Structure 1
Amino acid sequence: MVDRINVNCSVFEYRLLDVLSRYIQRIPCECIALSGGIDTTLIAVVAKLNGIELNGFYAYYKDGIPRDMPFIIHVSKKLNIPIKLFAMDLNYVKRVLNDVYRCIGGGEYNELCVELRNDVVFYTVLEAAKEHGCSCIYTGSGGDEVFAGYGFMLWLREEELEGYREKWTTMGRYPELEISKCLGVNVVAPYLSKEVLEEAMKIPAKCLRGSGFEGKRVLRNLLNGFGMELVGERAKTPAEAGAGTDSICITP
């Protein structure tokens, strides 16, 4: 068995990129839920490297401050991906709230206000993808859970970190996948695929944390290697801040 502690992190980066590339090449989608974050941007980069032309989709709250917007525009221009922007107003959010709640199932929520406002964004993007005739749409589902993107994960002992990662790969909350079933949209989540997960779970904590304990270092390094440092080195932004929905709290 290979001693992971003594293997250079670049080896894991190469292996991950290879398996991710092969998976995306096998399941080409013409659409992607772009957030300007690390997870979806790397998927977009790999897809473009494989000659896949993409259309991006992004939803935000028009009366909020969508922190992801500058990164979305940067990724769109840098990778030549046309982006469809959907501005949600309060009336729209109120109108679709019950549909979103029904899709997920009320019993699945732990923090109703926070989780529901994030799920409205997923709902809007996936519904738009369906209306635009996307045969399938890439999402970055699992990026934080698998590659230690959450702050508290960075301070866990290695065995604890691996325990969380293993648990979340099978029991994580991925509302976008539930919403996709409800809407009849084919979502492709590369980071949660069997082959990518098998390779990802071999990556040791040191290659995930990074020297500055910023998390997702293996993904950041891959992006940096493709000239995407602006995204590769961006700080973690909660989903609700990225879409500007952190200023609303409405429940059914």
Structure 2
Amino acid sequence: MESSRVQELRRILLSTLTSNNDSAILLSGGLDTSIITDLGHESLKIAHAYTLLTGPTNTATDETFAKTIANSHSIPHTIIRIPNTLDLVSDSPSSPLSLCVKVLNTFDPMELRNSVVVARTLQECAANNVKTVITGDGADELFAGYSFLSTLSPGKLRRWIHRISQNMSFSVVPLSKALGIENVIQPFLHPDVIQFALTCKKSELVGTCPETGKPLGKWILREAFPEAHSCWRRKDPIEVGSGTTHLPKLFETLYDAEEVEREKARIWDEDRIQIRDAEHLHYYRIFRRTFWKEDSEGRKWECGVERYGSDPCRSCGFQLQRPDQYFCVVCGEWPAREGGLPEDVEDGDDLDG
């Protein structure tokens, strides 16, 4: 890889690592937050780090990395431990799950497994009067961090990154606003970083891991910041790093299988919503409680997404946002259009929502 390209990315990203206020970082310990903390802890005025871990000790992969990074810079570090992962997704109106459903207008399990971690961490930040938070959002999308992207052809990968750069959004922004946190700093979403990412070739984004021999994304980021503690850490989604990836199986133990099947049939008959499993049912119940209203004019949905409009999802009836969208951000259905996917769309080619 050309050293000039590596140095250009390093220069661009370092120039974005500035803040006028003491800030807190949501520290997963992955490559992205490692770069931000290891290289920008002084210029970003990082005054505190927060990491959330759920489930039994040692099942979440973030702990060791996050601790080491915070300790190496003497940054006060709060680890929020949730021994029972189900506590994050209780049906209490004050739970992180209820907050996510209300703010994000969704009952999509994939979205919620990740966003409840962000929400609970932000609740801790708000309780400590944090006004500015920092995240590593955007690096996986722009620099091919997700494993499925390594299998795409160079042309399809470039098209995916171009499209997602125009449509990506992250739950930390609306959730922070709802909790009274004033500023969200996302260095990887700086226009100069995005513009650089759009010029990257696949050979700059995907390489071969020297330890495993497997494809590894964000290659140019790893070369640009070799001193980052997590330089060669594999990509772990939030749900893996925090431990919420176990939620589907936990819900299977919480709900009776026959009850789930009865509820799936009833909800389809009454609401015309397709429920997939126990986890999906749990989230939908909270979504319905939040947005289903009855008044003198009858019953109706009062969420931020139109239902049965010009372009509805085939499984829930809520509006899809774009003509080229095949993933429903409300219920999580994919493909969300009748007839499935067109020939020019591959598996994983529309996960930007």
* Relative contact order higher in (CA < 8 Å, ≥ 6 apart): 1
Structure 1 residues 108-123: aligned runs within 5 Å: 112-123=108-119
Counterpart of 1:13?
6
Taking the aligned partners of 1:27 and 1:164, their CA distance within structure 2 comes to: 34
Taking the aligned partners of 1:13 and 1:129, their CA distance within structure 2 comes to: 35
Taking the aligned partners of 1:51 and 1:122, their CA distance within structure 2 comes to: 20
Is the aligned partner of 1:101 residue 2:101?
A: yes
Taking the aligned partners of 1:9 and 1:210, their CA distance within structure 2 comes to: 14
- Deviation digits for residues 133-163 of structure 1, max 9, x if unmatched? 2231110111110010011111222221111
Taking the aligned partners of 2:247 and 2:157, their CA distance within structure 1 comes to: 33
Counterpart of 1:5?
none
The answer to whether the 8 A contact 1:9-1:218 is kept is no
Counterpart of 1:38?
31
Counterpart of 1:4?
none
Percent of residue pairs bearing the same amino acid type: 25
SS at match of 1:203: coil
Is the aligned partner of 1:158 residue 2:158?
A: no
227 and 99 in structure 1: CA distance in 2 versus 1, 3 angstrom threshold: closer
The answer to whether the 8 A contact 2:142-2:165 is kept is yes
Work out the number of aligned pairs and report it.
238
Q: In the alignment, residue 243 of structure 1 is paired with which amino acid?
A: S
Taking the aligned partners of 2:20 and 2:198, their CA distance within structure 1 comes to: 22
Counterpart of 1:216?
218
List alignment gaps of at least 5 residues for structure 1: 1-7
Give the CA RMSD over aligned residues.
2.1
Give 1:227 deviation, angstroms. Answer: 5.5
- Deviation digits for residues 99-150 of structure 1, max 9, x if unmatched? 21101112xx5xx223212111000112222222223111011111001001
List alignment gaps of at least 5 residues for structure 2: 210-214, 249-278, 287-353
12 and 52 in structure 1: CA distance in 2 versus 1, 3 angstrom threshold: farther
The answer to which of 201-210 and 83-92 deviates more is 83-92
Runs of 4 or more above 4 Å deviation? 26-29
Taking the aligned partners of 1:53 and 1:114, their CA distance within structure 2 comes to: 30
- The structure number with the bigger radius of gyration is 2
- Deviation digits for residues 61-110 of structure 1, max 9, x if unmatched? 1447211111111212223322111122433531312221101112xx5x
- Deviation digits for residues 164-197 of structure 1, max 9, x if unmatched? 1111122124222232232232211111121221
Taking the aligned partners of 2:50 and 2:158, their CA distance within structure 1 comes to: 32
User: Which structure shows the bigger proportion of residues in helix conformation?
Assistant: 1
The TM-score, its normalising length taken from structure 1, stands at: 0.85
Taking the aligned partners of 2:156 and 2:61, their CA distance within structure 1 comes to: 32
Taking the aligned partners of 1:28 and 1:17, their CA distance within structure 2 comes to: 23
The TM-score, its normalising length taken from structure 2, stands at: 0.62
Counterpart pick for 1:82 among 76, 79, 88: 76
Q: In the alignment, residue 13 of structure 2 is paired with which amino acid?
A: L
Taking the aligned partners of 1:61 and 1:51, their CA distance within structure 2 comes to: 28
Give 1:51 deviation, angstroms. Answer: 7.0
Q: In the alignment, residue 191 of structure 2 is paired with which amino acid?
A: K
Counterpart pick for 1:126 among 97, 122, 127: 122
Is the aligned partner of 1:202 residue 2:199?
A: yes
Q: In the alignment, residue 77 of structure 1 is paired with which amino acid?
A: N
Counterpart of 1:172?
168
Counterpart of 2:67?
73
